Structures are given as structure tokens and as C-alpha cells.
Structure 1
């Protein structure tokens, strides 16, 4: 396999003509996160490689996953009668999750700031993002966990597919249209997840099993948000793909 030609010379030549094109219409991104990232990136030294920023953010996501694996290896820590994850762990995970999200937003700005933006850098960034989709969902699962009042493993499996399918669909759309239409769900979910971790440290995991509207639990609200993200991505794909095809 080492001698197999995975990329043809014609495809390699296409890298010289390729330009990254993305559209972000999320108000949270436009009016809050991007101004924050534009200010933050100025503090980064120009010698700092964008790929190093990307990889650092990814390592924070992996660290969160490993930390939660240590304290909740079987996803039963949030179940009644089991030893819960210490409050300080939720705080650490929440802070690191937001830091990883921030680094993911800053790396591209650093690349443009230092004139080091390349197609391979984009591939590296999005390749790590595809792995992060798994770590994000599995780490959050520890909040609700298994058990009589928890979330089944089958639901976790479905949520993983929802997130991964949304990621794949967005990039399939980019392949066909040449433009990456960034889904609103990503920024909203990252800020929400970071907030939920911190809140969990304050109110405890039991709070997520309390009804906030009739018999609809807070954990159900979180699941609905993830499903809503998928539906929004599909709607955007249908609109943009059809529009571009006309």
C-alpha cells in the first residue's frame, strides 16, 4: 500500500488553484465569536503555525475524553446510587472544551494573518474535526449516562450518527457547490456544551433528570437540540445545493 498512488498528478496540481470558501450566517458567530477570535488572534506570535493551533485544540478534546473515561469508564457515574464524577472535573472539561472551540476558530485566522493558508492545512483541520465529532458526543454522554433514568447506549449510537452525518453532509455540499455553508448548530452546540459542563458542576447531574415542561426532561431538551442541528443542516444542504445547481 505504500507504493499506491492515492492522488494523481492532476489532483495534486489542483491544490495550486484551490481557494477556501465558506459562508457563515450564524448571528452567534458573526456578532460574538468572530469579533472575539479576531481580537484573540492578535496575541498569537506570527511564528506560531496554524496547524499547531489546530492540533492543540484537538488534543484538548482528546484530553477531555480521556479524563471522563477515567472517572466514568462505563457511563454509569451519573446513575442513582453510583459515585458521581467530581464537580471540579466538569469545570475543567467545560473550560477546556471552550478553549478547544476557540482554537478551532482561531487557526484559520492565524493562517490568513501569516499568509500560510493551504489546502492541506484545511484538510488537516477538517480531518481532526471529523474525529472530534466522536469525542464531543461521547464525553457529553457522561452527563446523562446509563441506568434506569439515563440515556440508552442505542440513543448514544444514534446521536453519534446524527453528528457525523451532519459533518459529512456539509462537506458533500462543499464538494458539489465549492462553498462550505457552516451550520448554525456547531457554534451553538459548542457554547451550549461548555455551559452545560459548568452548570453540571454547580447543580449536579440530578438536575438534568428534572422536568422543565410537563414530563419533558432537560436531558430530552439537549437531545432535541442535536436532532434539530441535523435537520437544519439538511435543510441548508437542500436549499444551497438546489440553488447552486440551477
Structure 2
């Protein structure tokens, strides 16, 4: 009794990764580096081991942030991390990008390319989105603010769109400017600048920084701080990605003679889940400080990120099984979040105290319970899916081995053939 139905497992044999990367940065700068970098890894290192190693570096970066700033205070006069921490964030993110780029190359070198690698790679990327949003907003001196929440929404929306597009088109499409390439390099630059000049640098007004305050017409534009200007730039990028992703899906659907409006309904799960999270986060400040202005802010974002990772994991599973597992249009965690939100709004709705969140301790209990529940559900999903795929396909997750017809495990050679051992 596994997680994936038997007929869906059969579809795994039909899966083949398809991807398009139009990034000039990737083609002319990064890809030659990645092609060399992968040769440094022994052939007995599994691709998923490389992927997990990259995510482990991000976990270390995140743990460093929480060690120096456990309450995530980066408002003016708040906690400023040592310069070396920001430099380590830059190095760690660049390392993650490199590891994430070469795991597929290692899979082809060892003959281990397949749906498990797709699931594992995207699962790690999904968790990284929230962690990097928190780290980047700290470096930008945004801290606990709606700008940080906006960053969370934008990064998750971009990832959801990419997964949604891949589900409908059958291939992963990265444009001339994409989050996994140029977006990551921009955040690496942000970490580096914060290490050199401190996060307060990002409070500098953009027109002042560019020395355009005396320029006719230009000086009439809003003189936003650099960090807020970066958020506005990200919003324009999100709208562009929405239009571009839908154009690709529309073109694919029209070429196959399918309707072009139905895929839009598959965007509703993100709208619903994000709406519930934002509603809880914006609850009235009646009995205790709002989550946004308390040390519960980061645990709340992490719980949200884990729920998101599980949901997009189910989307990817639907893709690699060719709808053998259905596209997730509903998630039971929405019910939990809705109940938590309703409890927080009881003073405004029914003029009565919240059942649980009537005190700071009650709200902390609910947020940390949500975090634990989100972690357990996502861990269960990962373990069960990995077990189902490895058992069915006769492969190992973290070693370069395959099970032969004789029932014995075999190490895989560089050409993909199996050698009994």
C-alpha cells in the first residue's frame, strides 16, 4: 500500500526530462563552469546526494542567521549580522546554484536520470525559496514587514508558475532572465553588498544613489529606498513571468487542440492557499501582537513554505506520472489554516475572545503546532514517494545502484550500464 497507485507507477517509465534554457548568462558563463565542476565529483556519488548537499548549505546559512538574530530583527536599530555572515550567505547561495545545476549532469554521467531526480531536485528548490526569501530580506534590511511578506508571495508564485507551466507544456522553460540563474546571482550580489557596506546601505534613496534628484522630470518619480525599489522590480518581473508562462501554456494547448482557459483554474490553489496565509497574518491586533510584529514571523513563514513545498511536490508528481496522480486542486492544510484564521478573527466577527490565540502563548502554540504539522506532512510525503519510486524502479536514492533482473544490487558505471557487486 504505497502513496502512488500502481498504474501511476507504470507511467514513470514513460517520463523523460525536457528543458529549455535561453539564458545567455547560463550558456556562455555558468554552463562552461558547471560542465567542469561536475567532473570533480566521483562517479559513485549519487545525483541526489549532490542536490541534498546544496540544500544543506542553505540550512547552515539559515541556522547562522537564527543564531545571530533569533528574533529576526532587522529594523533600524535592530540586529546587524557580522560582515562575514553576509559573505557566507553569498558563497552558500552560489554553491547551492552550482550543486543544483550539476546534479542533472551527474545523473546523465551515471545513468541515473529519471523521475526521482526531478522530484528530489524540485523538492529541494521549493524549500529553498522560502529560506532565501527570509535571508535576502534580512540582508536588504526589510526584516519583519509586509515587504518581506510580498517577497515570500512573489518567490512562491514564481516557483508555482514554473511548475504549473511544466505540467501543462511537458518541459521546464527558463527565459532570458530567470530566477534560478539571474535571480540567484542578483541575490548573491545583494549578500555581497550587505557584507561590504552593511544592510543599512539598502535604505539609501534610489534617486539619491543614482544622483538624479536634480534631473528634470526624473526627480518627480518616487524616491524609494533601494530595497523597496528592488521589491517593485520583482513585482514587474512576476507580472512578466505570469504573461510569459501563460503564453507558453496557451501555445502548447492550442497546438494540441485543447482549450486554453482550463489551465487557469489550476492557478487557483496558489491563490487560495496564499490568501488564507495572508488573512491569518493580517489578523486584528486585539489580544496579542500580530504575528508580523512578533518573533513568530519566521516560524510562520517556514510553516507556509513547507506547506507550499508539499503542494508543488504533488504537482510535480502529477507531471512525472502523466496524471496517474491527480493535479492537487485541494489540500487539507487549507482547512487547518482557515480554522486558525477564523480563531484569530473571532473578536471582529463575533465580538468574543479567540479560543486559542487570546494570548501570546496561545498564538505561539498554534504557530509552532502548524510548523510541526507542516513538517511532518511534508516529510511523510517525501519518504513515501521516494520509497514508492525506488522500490518500483529498482534504484537507490543516495547511491549509484540499480537492482538487476537477478534481484541483486549493481553499481552503475559511467556509461549507465550496471556492474554486479
Cross-structure match for 2:125:
129
Q: Structure 2: where are the runs of 5+ without partners?
A: 208-212, 214-222, 255-421
Cross-structure match for 1:169:
161
Match of 1:219 among 224, 227, 236: 227
Are 1:71 and 2:68 an aligned pair? yes
Cross-structure match for 1:6:
3
Mapped to 2, the partners of 1:18 and 1:233 lie a distance apart of: 26
Mapped to 2, the partners of 1:185 and 1:228 lie a distance apart of: 13
Q: Structure 1: where are the runs of 5+ without partners?
A: none
Output aligned runs, 1:63-102, within 5 Å.
Answer: 63-76=60-73, 78-102=74-98
Specify the structure having the higher radius of gyration (Cα): 2
Mapped to 2, the partners of 1:186 and 1:176 lie a distance apart of: 20
**Are residues 80 and 159 of structure 1, via their aligned partners in 2, closer, same or farther at CA, if it must alter by over 3 Å?**
closer
Mapped to 1, the partners of 2:57 and 2:237 lie a distance apart of: 24
Match of 1:187 among 168, 181, 191: 181
Mapped to 1, the partners of 2:89 and 2:139 lie a distance apart of: 11
Output aligned runs, 1:155-166, within 5 Å.
Answer: 155-166=147-158
For residue 225 of structure 1, report the CA deviation from its aligned partner: 3.4
Mapped to 2, the partners of 1:40 and 1:18 lie a distance apart of: 27
Counterpart contact for 1:72–1:142, Cα < 8 Å: no
SS of the residue aligned with 2:4? coil
1:189-213: CA deviation from partner (whole Å, max 9, x where unpaired): 2111112111111111221111122
For residue 34 of structure 1, report the CA deviation from its aligned partner: 1.2
For residue 171 of structure 1, report the CA deviation from its aligned partner: 1.0
Cross-structure match for 1:38:
35
For residue 119 of structure 1, report the CA deviation from its aligned partner: 0.4
**Are residues 133 and 33 of structure 1, via their aligned partners in 2, closer, same or farther at CA, if it must alter by over 3 Å?**
same
1:151-203: CA deviation from partner (whole Å, max 9, x where unpaired): 65222222212111211111111111111112513311211111211111111
Counterpart contact for 1:75–1:141, Cα < 8 Å: no
1:44-103: CA deviation from partner (whole Å, max 9, x where unpaired): 111111000000001111111111111122232x43333421111111111111111110
Counterpart contact for 1:19–1:119, Cα < 8 Å: yes
Are 1:242 and 2:250 an aligned pair? yes
Q: Which moved more, 1:28-37 or 1:129-138?
A: 28-37
Counterpart contact for 2:72–2:144, Cα < 8 Å: no
Please identify which structure carries the higher helix content. Answer: 1
Cross-structure match for 2:112:
116
1:92-140: CA deviation from partner (whole Å, max 9, x where unpaired): 1111111111101111111112211110111011011111111010111
TM-score, normalised via structure 1 length: 0.90
RMSD: 1.7
SS of the residue aligned with 2:206? strand
Number of residue pairs matched? 238
